[in-house]
Structure 1
């Protein structure tokens, strides 16, 4: 099992390398996933014929992952007067484009045990659509001693982090005490043995494809879009119309508030928005000068006074002004 963390410098090096290394498609296989998996948000492609074709279509849409379910032939009973006949019918192939990485809860095993990553017909074949790597094989044993394994969020992040290396290796880990997606970047002479079915204990291995490339401008645009999505996902942790606001003296914590109505954080986050320094801070209406205790409310993101302290008078703009 992988056990150590890679230096932060590795990720920084990989991020800068992305601008120099061109992308390859139709992507790379990363998982077999049960067909009842929740893909959260996705788009549908109607004419994909296989998993690589699905990945190519999703690449064109700018999606990070593709999920392909092949057409399945079924027999439908047609009752008649004298006998019942069978009519063969095909359930069409399904191709979904999404940002949803393979969910651990829905991860399955490949049908073949030769390391080829061939999925059962009733499971999604999942690809990362844009990568400089090509899937090689799954193995049950990897000599990882010379490597610097680290935890990654998903397969795409692993392949992106290893972009300057000959090989990338990852493993899905279901250890309840240490749930993680484990990744390592490696030289081409990494010792591999025992090809196996591609499932949670297996090591998924990837190699660079010599000379294969695609428009690098697309890769750069996808990187920019991914960074925006990552920032949005960090910020958009509260349901509309609530905002994720920092909690004072609570480190990297937040609370969900409605800044249109919150008396002590009216019009914005009083301690700043979580992971968004550009959002202006709100106002604690209870501290506005001249307002009586209990004599103010927050409406549409503005403090609205209806009672003032002695020496102040209520203005037509619902503010307390000195007499």
Structure 2
């Protein structure tokens, strides 16, 4: 009798499987379309105004701006992941994001002006930016806000597709906790309107992700809104150990330790995952595994 085949993945799982290529493709395509579309509209505006600008000049303006935005996307992703905005911290985060918008604009202007100067020099011309930073900042601030909103909404949708974890001992109402919050043995995962339990012992490793800790369980990732340090203090220290500033690992899931020349190491888990191990944690890890 043949083994029963696994059920086909549903739409959410198929998307999560191609999530990274999709994200890279989105940013490349959106910036390319922005450069093409803005170049076309700028050319129309220049012709209507009767201004004397060559086609390569107009293309360099818009293309340099789009490339600068593309280069600034990775640090913006890291910034919004490290300091995300929630309803309970908007007031505290506002000054930080205002300052970040200024840094974003300075970096964007610096990158695009540098690229324009190179293009103009290639054509034997000189590009002069002038004192237009105030005007550029007004545009950049809107772009910055739009990208911040896009990233937060997208992450919320991804968490919904992945399934977001929470402590079983933290119910939504005022009922008593199911188990002690100091040492939870299970987590509840809410995914697409359904709930299921995940045993703490089934967690293979945990990675810090801003204000979240991503629980890796059987190839799935469930974000839990808690700092890695706080989660470490609540998990069983006989099973879970900090091996990196942003990683916890389940000792029972380690298949082998690969030492590196730098003194750091790599932990190869039974599921094939590879987790970094800093040199400062190696002795403690070895002692825990021997014990």
TM range (shorter): under 0.3
Q: Which is helix-richer, 1 or 2?
A: 2
Rg larger for = 1
TM-score, normalised by the number of residues in structure 1: 0.23
- Which structure has more strand as a fraction of its residues? 1
